[in-house]
Amino acid sequence: MTIRTDTDLYDATVAERARMAAILEDLAPERWVADSLCAGWRIREVVAHLTMTDTQTQEEFGAALAEAGGDVDVAVDRTVRADVARFSDAELLAIQRARVASRWTPGPGALQGALAHEVVHGLDITVPLGLPGPAPEVLAAAVAGSTPEGLAFFGVDLAGLRLTAVDSDLVLGDGPRDVPLPTLTIVLIATGREPVPAPSAVG
């Protein structure tokens, strides 16, 4: 299935939130404090970040951003750590369950951005724990059409490369060197979770 329409994107986002809630329900307490793919964050911090959309009002986050001197990363980290301190694992799970059908997006009409938020941070949880991730077509929909500017946000430069998925229709980059990879690997590369293949390693 190719995910293209707004309805497709919303339905995929809802399904991913529900899938993550089910995963979290089965996590033993010691796994909540395991390291995630986000440097300095455990699984608990990533869950708190996912649920920030429902624990903070826009005004509250605006105040946190102002206190951080406009640095979004600092504001997010402070907010996440505050939520980790005030919510138990069970409470974070309850918030995750309650937000499954949320219409939140990171900007007006940014339905792909909402899906990417769930998918990428979901991988921050599932990959280090060795748990299944989303289907390839869902992974592909989260990052399809990524621009060089969007990739640069994660410190990623695909100059000279074209990453072609072997299990979906995802293609990122338009360089002459084609690199066939699983969709999961491409998403991890595109979001700075795995290094960009070195030219010497590309055939």
- Which of the pair, 1 or 162, is modelled with greater confidence? 162
Angstrom distance (rounded) from CA 203 to CA 74 = 40
Angstrom distance (rounded) from CA 165 to CA 39 = 27
| Digit-coded pLDDT (tens) for 41-55 | 999 999 999 999 999
Q: What pLDDT score was predicted for residue 30?
A: 96
Cα distances from 48 to residues 41, 84, 121, 160, in angstroms, run 10, 6, 11, 37
- Answering whether pTM is above 0.85, one says yes
C-beta separation of 77 from 85 below 8 A? no
C-beta separation of 42 from 35 below 8 A? yes
Answer yes or no: is pLDDT of 1 > 80.
Answer: no
| Digit-coded pLDDT (tens) for 160-176 | 999 999 999 999 999 99
Which residues, in sequence order, are CB contacts of 141 under 8 Å at separation 6+?
2, 3, 4, 8, 9, 12, 112, 115
| Digit-coded pLDDT (tens) for 103-120 | 999 988 899 999 999 999
- Facing residues of 163 across strands? 172, 179
Percent of the chain predicted with pLDDT > 90: 91
Q: In the structure, what pLDDT confidence band is assigned to residue 3 with cuts at 50, 70 and 90?
A: confident
Answer yes or no: is pLDDT of 69 > 70.
Answer: yes
